[in-house]
A and B are shown apart, each in its own frame.
Chain A
Amino acid sequence: MPTFEPVLLRRVGKESGQSLAGYRADGGYQATKKALGLAPDEVTKIVKDSGLRGRGGAGFPTGVKWTFLPKDHPGPIYLCVNADESEPGTFNNRILMEHDPHQILEGIMIAAHAIKCHTAYIYLRYEFGRSYRTLDRAIRECYDNNLLGKNILGTAFSLDVYLHRGAGAYICGEETGLLESLEGKRAWPRIKPPFPAVEGLFRKPTIVNNIETLACVPHIIERGVDWFRSIGVPPDPNNPRDAGSLGPKLYCISGHVNNPCCVELPLGITARALVDDFGGGVWKGRKVKACVPGGISMGFLSAAEMDTPLDFNGPLRVGCLGLGTAAAIVVDDQTSMVDVLFNCCRFMAHESCGQCTPCREGTDWSRKILQRIQAGQGTLSDLDTLTEIAQSMGTIPGTTICGLADGAAWPIKNAIQKFRDDFEHYIQSGRKTAVAVTA
């Protein structure tokens, strides 16, 4: 398969990613200059035309989101950069931040100009210490070189970027949870409407974008819409609602593979090709049993579904929640899905914010059931109970305030649906991997 020339990752491990001088020598901040010479609406139109879709998990067209801001608002308008990367299996944001912070900052600048924002907050998960230090250093370099602060590069555009660290909660990656946390409150996601673009941070219009999404922006400006659209999967001409899966994507591969890594590829590679050609294949000579397509919230692909293309549509067709963060986690055939699912449920129960009833109670209940199954006390009716919990927690649309419940429900739904034999065998064989059930 022809190797894709990395764009987002091209400075990883190189001098050019480690300092402003290096970045500039590599042609950095030319896109910013170009963008600042355009009107904000023109920049928005370019990003919209490029077909860039959010890389944080929801896949919403970025340029379209920017148009949701109210016109002629007195401001201030805020840009919040979601660097809270917490979806299990995902680490591409971390690599971007640690190895090429200026690429991100350039994306922030261009985006801020497009949405007429002069204050941007990077919400960085606390655990990413190295990212904090590299970003902080890069931001200082920008301030020292008229790339941030007042009158950037001699234009009328001013921008302040604040680097804010979180305190260890997955729910702070949910856009309104992030806003609440940034405001100093409990990260309880807000009810929508109103949407952040209308009423967001401090009740002002706010755009929340993912790190990787913003990293694409300078390249779209520099190389053009056509270049971006030439990569990936174009929209289905027969489906006017299909926004396509365009541009390069950072895929994370982890789990039972020989070469866990982060690789940049055009959107649309199949799970099998991703694992075999870039992940080094399943480890220890084993075969694949299941593969998470995009962070555990998306559910599981079965071995038979490994040829599913990992674009915005592929996983949906085989019953997963979506592409998510395109983080593949491989499960080998000697691992029980009971243990895998328990891990997913344990994570979700720990991270549920506790605001809405189905998620607060459902995540903990499913964790307890799986723990009991692991302790050898499961029954077959537990599988039906789990399916029902998943149904009411997330699969029926509208039952919760945010998507965490959906992300908790989908792994349960997929696991029991696609790997029922695994569960039944585990239960009926009296197998035990845990000792006792804790309340």
Chain B
Amino acid sequence: MGTVLVNGTPVEIGANERLNVIQVADRAGVEVPRYCWHPALTVVASCRMCLVETGEKKPDGTIAMVPKLVPGCQTPVKDGMVVVTNSEKVKTAQAQTLEYLLLNHPLDCPVCDQAGECWLQDYSYRYGHAHSRLHEPKIRRPDKNYIGDEITLFTDRCVMCSRCVRFTREISGTAELQIINRGSHAEIDIFPGEPCNNKLAGNVVDICPVGALCSKDFLYKQRVWWLQMKESVCPNCSTGCSITIDQNNETIYRLRPRYNPQAQGHFMCDEGRFGFKYVHHPDRLGEPLALPKAGPPANDWPAVLAGAQSALHETAQRNPAGLLGLLSPWMTCEEAFLLAKYLKSLSPQVRLALGPVPVEGEDDRYPKGVDGRPLANTLFTIRAEKCPNRAGVAAILQHFEGKVVTFDEIKTDFSDGRVEALYAVGGYRLPWLADSDRSWLSALKLLIVQDILPSPASGLAQYLLPGGSFAEKDGTFVNHAGLAQEIHRAVRCPGQAWPDGRILWDLAGRRGLFHAPTLRAEIGTEIGALAALRSGRLGSLGHLLSEGAADQASGGPLPTWAPSPSFPPAPPVAGPPSPPPPHHSTPKHPAASGAKP
């Protein structure tokens, strides 16, 4: 326990917390500008932007300040410490450091991707000067588009914070990025012929505070102030990285990781980062279709849903055990709950099974050692299970079916006719059925397919219900560790497709509109394993299922292994898309009120 004075404001620090001055100042709502410090990387204290004055408060109340400035990032705080960030000395140092950084910095703002989220812009505005005193030519350096397949470098914009170099050494372990030359001629570069193509490469673009390292995918596409931001979760593997979806005019332009100590930390992999293009694929299913074996076709939602409903009713009455609901691990908990509950309401003998769970290779752990094998202390994992919610859907199936039947187990029932009617939900990013599956699919008496992309099943379905991708719906994903996180709708479904929650809500004949928080409360009350959903809201960082019910409203107990509620504070709960500036002045984590040790 202890108290630190930051510009006169007392800040509590816990007994087991190890914080630096930047983190403590953040708690007091005071920004200490910095470039090279990053909470996930080693401290180098080289940018000198975070210089502050420190001192200590003696027992008799007098304050003794240290005569020299110290970098906030390398100064651990302790009880009784006094931090001053707004003195003339500090302000002069900040202004001077910014002048140095801008000295040779090209005036690229009008053409630079980083504009609007650039720390050089932001800090210059807040702490620097508006004029340059350089009368000599600036150092010019050539651009390097060979840095990586996804990464390009605008060399003369670099401020030598070395975050990218440290990232490739400490987080990915692949060490592709290095610094060449000495002094003011230092540049970021790669070893010739060995570009930065590791699977975490995209993160260096995020951590670069200026527009030096840019994403080739996003280059020149958007100005960041045009982008609307929505909190979500990456669906491409069971790590379930917390992300932000940046979209403009119903088009997603990029995904960025959101810090979540319980989910994945600070980063995300390239598979997830660049793996959203399927959302805007021209082949996306966009029209509901009813092509019954008997009766007129239809292509409007009410008619299609009514047709599907009556077909399901008919099958359930005649041969309930022959009706199977195949729930994809890409469904949200709410969707799985709605479908399972509805199908079981038709008859308790209706069967439910888990759709195919895509698995590719093994979990890919980082950082790598020099031999390419992962080191013992894993900092990031790309999981082999390439779907977002197997755990959540399995919990639903466990409750309604009593067991989780896998797709492999149920497959034989198709060919020997024990299943004659199938309600299949897809939502997979990649093809999940093969051409060879057409044989048993076409033998079905009733096939209802709810999916986002065409498949052998969608072509054979009597009822085709076009659904939404992860970016087009509200819901809950549960990751490999049992962390339940909220996803939020960032863009509209294409064509006439509906978010799956809406489809299933109407199909189940429920009144009103699909509303994820209300449905979570229902799920949490009904299913013990998902009691954590009971409050309806899971916050920005999600909630562990193992923690049981959480009363988020009063900022209840934190999950046991979370680090102290310290830097950075969580961004606001999903709501209106006000873009939070990176790391700065975001509201405190609800539990960081300082009440707990």
Contacts and interface: CB of A to CB of B under 8 A. Distances in A.
Interface of A: 169, 171, 186, 188, 191, 349-358, 360-365, 368-369, 371-372, 385, 388, 392, 396-401, 437, 439
Given A191-B44, A357-B47, 8 more contacts: A171-B182, A191-B74, A350-B183, A355-B46, A358-B48, A358-B96, A364-B183, A365-B103
A400 B70 CA distance: 9
Of B71, B136, B181, which is in contact with the most chain A CB atoms at under 10 Å from its CB?
B136
Contact of B183 (A363, A369, A385, A396): A363
Given A355-B46, A360-B183, A369-B136, A399 B100 contact: no
Interface of B: 43-49, 51, 67-71, 74, 89, 92-93, 96-97, 100-101, 103-104, 133-140, 159-160, 162, 179, 181-186
12 contacts: A351-B183, A354-B181, A354-B184, A355-B160, A360-B160, A365-B134, A372-B135, A392-B93, A392-B100, A397-B69, A400-B48, A437-B137
Given A349-B183, A349-B184, A369-B136, A356 B46 contact: yes
B136 A357 contact: no
B539 to A, nearest CB: 36
A352 B136 contact: no
A261 B181 CA distance: 35
Contact of B182 (A191, A352, A357, A388): A352
A371 B100 CA distance: 18
Contacts of B162: 355
Given A349-B184, A352-B184, A392-B92, A357 B160 contact: yes
A364 B136 CA distance: 11
A373 to B, nearest CB: 11
A402 to B, nearest CB: 11
A360 B51 contact: no
Contacts of B97: 357-358, 392
Nearest to A382: B135
Contacts of B186: 354, 360
B101 A361 contact: yes
A371 B134 CA distance: 13
A347 to B, nearest CB: 11
A58 B245 CA distance: 54
A152 B101 CA distance: 54
Contacts of B183: 349-354, 360, 363-364
B48 A396 contact: no
B69 A354 contact: no
A399 B103 contact: no
A362 B100 CA distance: 7
B92 A361 contact: no
A360 B35 CA distance: 15
B68 A398 contact: yes
Nearest to B178: A186
A357 B101 CA distance: 7
A397 B184 CA distance: 22
The 4 A-B residue pairs whose C-beta atoms are closest, nearest first, are: A398-B68, A397-B68, A361-B100, A364-B184
Contacts of A169: 182
Contacts of B69: 396-399
Given A191-B74, A352-B183, A357-B101, A372 B136 contact: yes
Nearest to B104: A361
A357 B445 CA distance: 72
A365 B74 CA distance: 27
B70 A398 contact: yes
B315 to A, nearest CB: 70
Contacts of B137: 437, 439
Contacts of B101: 357, 361
A166 to B, nearest CB: 13
B88 to A, nearest CB: 12
Contacts of B46: 188, 355-357, 401
B33 to A, nearest CB: 12
Nearest to A359: B183
A439 B156 CA distance: 13
A191 B45 contact: yes
A399 B45 contact: no
Nearest to B89: A396
Contacts of B92: 392, 396
B47 A396 contact: no
Contacts of B103: 361, 365
A362 B137 CA distance: 15
A361 B45 contact: no
Contacts of A392: 92-93, 96-97, 100
A398 B97 CA distance: 13
B68 A353 contact: no
B48 to A, nearest CB: 5
A372 B134 CA distance: 11
Contact of B100 (A350, A357, A372, A396): A357
Nearest to A169: B182
Contacts of B133: 385
A186 B44 CA distance: 14
B51 A399 contact: yes
Contacts of A357: 46-49, 97, 100-101, 159-160
Contact of A439 (B45, B49, B140): B140
Nearest to B186: A354
Contacts of B181: 354
Contacts of A396: 68-69, 89, 92-93
A347 B26 CA distance: 40
A354 B51 contact: no
Nearest to A353: B182
A355 to B, nearest CB: 5
Nearest to A170: B182
A439 B160 contact: no
A368 B74 contact: no
A232 B74 CA distance: 40
A365 B137 CA distance: 10
B138 A439 contact: yes
B45 A401 contact: yes
A251 B435 CA distance: 88
Contact of A397 (B67, B74, B179): B67
Contacts of B71: 191, 398
A398 B50 CA distance: 11
